[in-house]
């Protein structure tokens, strides 16, 4: 999924089924985003109820390529089943990229 340069956010969905109860306090969010200036990016995990969990802020001093990382989110107040979304926004101009893949580990 392409991330528009210095524009609105995009979201990528994952439907979770068959997990009883709430998500864990140590929910793992594995992110693989190809981008030529990762400091441009703001990344949020959106729970099925729309609650947002910031996993990465933008940083004008982080000029490296790509975001390949695992983030831990305390999502213990969220029901595990439902549609989870990764929301990514490019907050500065001139560099582009795309969401290559992402996953949740409960």
The full set of domain ranges for the chain reads 2-105
What does the pLDDT read at residue 11? 98
What does the pLDDT read at residue 56? 98
Q: How confident is the model at residue 61 (pLDDT cuts 50, 70, 90)?
A: very high
What does the pLDDT read at residue 48? 98
What does the pLDDT read at residue 51? 98
How many Å apart are CA 51 and CA 96, to the nearest integer? Answer: 27
What does the pLDDT read at residue 31? 98
pTM of the model: 0.96
How many Å apart are CA 26 and CA 78, to the nearest integer? Answer: 12
What does the pLDDT read at residue 89? 98
The CATH classification number of 2-105 equals: 2.60.120.260
């Amino acid at each position: 999924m392409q991330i528009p340069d210095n524009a609105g956010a995009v979201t990528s969905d994952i439907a979770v089924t068959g997990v009883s109860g709430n998500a864990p306090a140590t929910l793992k969010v594995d992110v693989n985003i190809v981008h030529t200036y990762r400091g441009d990016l703001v990344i949020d995990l959106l729970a099925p109820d729309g609650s947002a969990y910031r996993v990465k802020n933008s940083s004008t001093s982080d000029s490296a390529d790509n975001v390949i990382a695992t983030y831990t989110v305390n999502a213990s107040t969220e029901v595990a089943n439902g549609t989870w979304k990764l929301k990514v926004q490019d907050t500065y101009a001139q560099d582009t990229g795309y969401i290559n893949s992402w996953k949740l580990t409960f």
